[in-house]
């Protein structure tokens, strides 16, 4: 994803845990341009790798907005196909739901490790000012940038085992000066302005330059905490120093309103009729293995297949026993097949057997 990898390279403040950012970027890096060029339908391939593109669903009085993947702003179509979430698209869905007179509740369902800062505070403010009733929810993860956005809903819930929080900001900087020196390379950076060229490969940051980046991080972090406290008024800033919490712990720390263990339970809590409407919109998955077994059972070995080159076995080709001569050798006549005697015994009804 260009926006996330670019943030790492340009010393921009980042709202995602390093390990999760690396895991996502490594997954994206496995997709080669040759794979994209040679594939007939890129969207289908991306859906297999990253899942379907999230879309808003309206049922009854509820608008459901999924917020999935690494968060960024102004993303390309390819980035969005790779499972990234554009804050601009989320805002468009929010405004659509807000304009709809039939919608009373807006559920924002999160599964995101976070992302970049750009656009996140603005979307958070937009949610905070929404005139409709907003509910944030996660049963998986809502961290960093996702937590900033989710915290601005009127009510916020999570499942007990979900991961919530990571309220912090950082800028990664790789000091390669010693590595360059080991290779016999020294960098002479000719510049004007003490802040210019800060972080150039092969150089170290001066104390003034480091403070510049630190001030940027501190400003974003203070903004993050301030927004959370505007809605989560009983939360403690001491719990907003980059820690991740389970849903259960986050509820105890007043970072969320409470525990709801599934999205179905959330719909049911709003209104049983809304739950019923939500159920109708969910796609039904059929057991493909069972269906394949049924299809395979339609053709028995004796029937054969019309197009597999194997002809059905006819009765006249079945092997029959020869009659025996008095001397024990086979005669030219076939032996009549024995008939099963009908002794009046009814068939066994296995359904009526008692269970063991």
- pTM value > 0.85: no
Tell me what pLDDT residue 259 has.
Answer: 97
Helix 120-128 with 87-99: angle, nearest 10 deg: 20
Which ranges of the chain would DSSP assign to H, the alpha helix?
A: 2-9, 18-29, 33-38, 42-50, 77-81, 87-99, 120-128, 145-150, 177-182, 207-231, 247-252, 263-270, 272-281, 288-297
Confidence of residue 275 (pLDDT cuts 50, 70, 90): confident
**Per-residue pLDDT reduced to its tens digit, 162-183:** 999 999 999 999 899 999 999 9
Residue 347 has pLDDT above 80, yes or no: no
Tell me what pLDDT residue 21 has.
Answer: 85
Tell me what pLDDT residue 30 has.
Answer: 73
| All structural domains of the chain | 2-171+217-281 (3.90.226.10)
Tell me what pLDDT residue 327 has.
Answer: 65
Q: If you average pLDDT over residues 33-61, what whole number do you get?
A: 73
Tell me what pLDDT residue 183 has.
Answer: 93
Name the most confidently modeled range: 31-40, 192-201, 224-233, 300-309.
Answer: 224-233
**Per-residue pLDDT reduced to its tens digit, 315-344:** 444 445 555 666 666 666 655 544 444 444
Tell me what pLDDT residue 122 has.
Answer: 98
Under DSSP, is residue 291 helix (H, G, I), strand (E, B) or coil? helix
Tell me which of 157-161, 288-292, 348-352 is least confident.
288-292
Tell me what pLDDT residue 27 has.
Answer: 80
Largest CA distance in the chain: 119
Q: What share of the chain is helix, strand, coil (3-state, %, to 5)?
A: 40, 15, 45
**Per-residue pLDDT reduced to its tens digit, 283-292:** 543 333 332 3
Q: If you average pLDDT over residues 247-261, what whole number do you get?
A: 97
Tell me which of 108-117, 249-258, 284-293 is least confident.
284-293
């Amino acid at each position: 994803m260009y926006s996330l990898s670019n943030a790492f390279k340009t010393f921009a403040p980042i709202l995602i845990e390093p390990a999760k950012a690396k895991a996502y970027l490594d997954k994206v890096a496995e997709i080669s341009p040759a794979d994209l060029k040679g594939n007939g339908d890129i969207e289908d391939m991306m859906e297999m790798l990253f899942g379907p593109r999230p879309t808003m669903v309206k049922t009854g009085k509820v608008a459901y907005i999924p917020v999935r993947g690494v968060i960024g702003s102004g993303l390309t179509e390819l980035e969005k196909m790779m499972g990234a979430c554009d804050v601009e698209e989320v805002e468009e869905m929010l405004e659509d739901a807000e304009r709809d007179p039939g919608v009373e509740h807006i559920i924002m369902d999160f599964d995101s490790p976070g992302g970049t800062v750009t656009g996140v505070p603005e979307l958070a403010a937009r949610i905070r000012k929404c005139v409709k009733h907003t509910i944030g929810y996660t049963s998986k993860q809502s961290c960093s940038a996702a937590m900033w956005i989710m915290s601005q809903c009127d009510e916020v819930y999570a499942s007990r085992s979900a991961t919530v929080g990571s309220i912090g900001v950082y800028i990664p900087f790789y000091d390669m000066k010693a590595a360059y020196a080991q290779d016999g390379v020294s960098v002479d950076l000719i510049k004007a302005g003490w802040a210019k060229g800060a972080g150039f490969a092969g150089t170290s940051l001066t104390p003034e330059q480091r403070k510049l980046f630190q001030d940027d991080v501190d400003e974003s972090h203070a903004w993050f905490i301030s927004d959370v406290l505007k809605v989560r008024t009983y939360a403690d800033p001491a719990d907003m120093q980059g820690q991740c919490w389970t849903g259960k712990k986050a509820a105890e720390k007043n970072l969320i309103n409470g525990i709801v263990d599934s999205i179905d339970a959330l719909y049911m809590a709003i209104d049983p009729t809304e739950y019923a409407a939500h159920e109708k919109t969910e796609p039904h998955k059929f057991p493909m293995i069972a269906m394949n077994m049924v299809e395979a059972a339609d053709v028995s070995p004796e029937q054969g297949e019309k197009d597999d080159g194997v002809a059905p076995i006819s009765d006249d080709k079945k092997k029959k026993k020869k009659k025996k001569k008095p001397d024990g050798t086979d005669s030219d006549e076939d032996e009549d097949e024995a008939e099963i005697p009908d002794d009046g015994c009814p068939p066994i009804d296995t359904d009526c057997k008692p269970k063991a």
